[in-house]
Amino acid sequence: MFAPVRHVLPLTTIRRERLLAGAGRVVARKGQKLNAADVIAEAESSPDYLLLDVARGLGVAKNRADTYMQVKSGDEVVEGDLIAGPVGSFKRVVRTPRTGRVAAVGGGQVFLKLATTPFELRAGFPGIVVELVSERGAVIETTGALVQGVWGNGRIDCGLLSVLAKAPGEPLLPGNLDVGLRGSVVLAGHCAAREALAAAAELSLRGLILASLAAALIPTAQQVSFPVIVVEGFGELEMNPAAYQLLSTNEKREVALNAEPWDRFHGQRPEIIIPLPAPGELPTPREAAVFEADQQVRILRMPHAGKLGRLVEVSPAPTLLSNGLEARAGVVRLENGENVLLPLANLEVQE
């Protein structure tokens, strides 16, 4: 049976595609050494439009307003430029509130296509460009530690890691966040306090790594300006020992957070990358596997959600479970020595 793989690796080769959603212009070069914030490709943003009611602004009828127009279709305008007027003893005028181009004029109105800032695709982590993808982006490679999570808010940034949680499940409280953490990536435990996320936003953190998050705080976490990665899931869960040990022992190192959403079909997960030198060439981690005995697995569902164990046995055929359902299952030996029978659908391989 297909087994999803989640990586918690102290040293590996990390190779990632960074691509625009559509065609654009690639500015990176093959062999270029990148920092996390370096731009690798650009694309024009979707244009915004603005309709100006010139007749109302001048206080005249629509058919008269056209005679006071000072622009025509195709003209480039900058904020404050004269659009129409002056009219009357008070010299009424209409000026453009935004920079852009006049798309249409008539009927007492002006239709503006507003200037937009091109979208910039950034590297997301330090590395070397090993391949260019025409009009889309590049493949970037580095060596280092890799920890994958289960949820991210879609943002990317990097900074020095500060370990706030002194234990895998220590809660994140507003009072724990002080000015000394400003501009850093913070490793914390469980977050159930909306005020803690607000305090983190006020400190302008570069990122937040959580063991778990209260589900009610998902909208708040999506709105903050920095990346938030949840390693274990929603509810009150401790960070698994392997991930906590790896992250906490790399305090004060630069870490890159790519909090992209988990895509089960393409194997993409929110990721924490800690660039580290390697003594030689390292293999890239596999993205999928087949369930086999002696694999380390992570349990996805309650009552053992987030716990690690060793897969002792995999049933060759569907097995009758305690809930009365039949499913492919396996015996997992938990870290406390207890053996539990679990459906394979509730497991993932952790490497």
What number is the average pLDDT over the span 160-183? 90
Q: Are residues 26 and 70 in the same domain?
A: no
263 exposure class (CB count in 10 Å sphere: 0-12, 13-18, 19+): exposed
Q: What is the pLDDT of residue 36?
A: 85
pLDDT in tens, 192-201: 999 999 999 9
- Inform me whether the pLDDT recorded for 2 exceeds 80: no
Q: Are residues 203 and 326 in the same domain?
A: no
Q: Are residues 152 and 201 in the same domain?
A: yes
Q: Which of 62, 95, 114 represents a domain boundary (last residue)? A: 114
Q: Are residues 174 and 250 in the same domain?
A: yes
Share of the chain above pLDDT 70, in %: 98
Q: What is the pLDDT of residue 265?
A: 64
Tell me which DSSP letter residue 246 carries. H
324 CB-near residues (< 8 Å, 6+ apart): none
- Inform me whether the pLDDT recorded for 66 exceeds 80: yes
pLDDT in tens, 92-130: 999 999 899 999 999 999 999 988 888 889 888 899 999
Compute the mean pLDDT over every residue in the chain, rounded to the nearest whole number.
89
Coarse DSSP helix, strand, coil percentages of the chain, rounded to the nearest 5 percent: 15, 45, 40
Q: What is the pLDDT of residue 1?
A: 61
User: What's the pLDDT band for 325 if we cut at 50, 70, 90?
Assistant: confident
Q: What is the pLDDT of residue 308?
A: 87
Q: Please tell me the distance from the alpha carbon of residue 307 to that of residue 301, in angstroms, as a whole number.
A: 9
What number is the average pLDDT over the span 290-314? 85
Residue 281 falls inside a structural domain: no
Q: Are residues 23 and 53 in the same domain?
A: no
- Inform me whether the pLDDT recorded for 151 exceeds 90: yes
pLDDT in tens, 226-236: 999 999 989 88
Q: What angle do CA 155, 161, 162 make, to 5 degrees?
A: 115
Q: Are residues 190 and 316 in the same domain?
A: no
Count of domains forming the chain: 3
pLDDT in tens, 13-34: 999 989 988 888 999 999 999 9
60 exposure class (CB count in 10 Å sphere: 0-12, 13-18, 19+): buried
Domain enclosing residue 219, as ranges: 2-43+121-275
Q: What is the pLDDT of residue 327?
A: 83
Output the domain CATH number for residue 60.
Answer: 2.40.50
Q: Are residues 190 and 261 in the same domain?
A: yes
Q: Are residues 141 and 222 in the same domain?
A: yes
With contact defined as beta carbons under 8 Å apart, do 18 and 43 qualify? no
Residue 131 falls inside a structural domain: yes
Q: What is the pLDDT of residue 267?
A: 66
Output the domain CATH number for residue 238.
Answer: 3.50.30.10
User: What's the pLDDT band for 266 if we cut at 50, 70, 90?
Assistant: low
Q: Are residues 146 and 227 in the same domain?
A: yes
Q: Which of 246, 275, 304 represents a domain boundary (last residue)? A: 275
Residue 283 falls inside a structural domain: no
- Inform me whether the pLDDT recorded for 350 exceeds 90: no
Q: Please tell me the distance from the alpha carbon of residue 17 to that of residue 120, in angstroms, as a whole number.
A: 15
Residue 282 falls inside a structural domain: no
Output the domain CATH number for residue 307.
Answer: 2.30.30.30
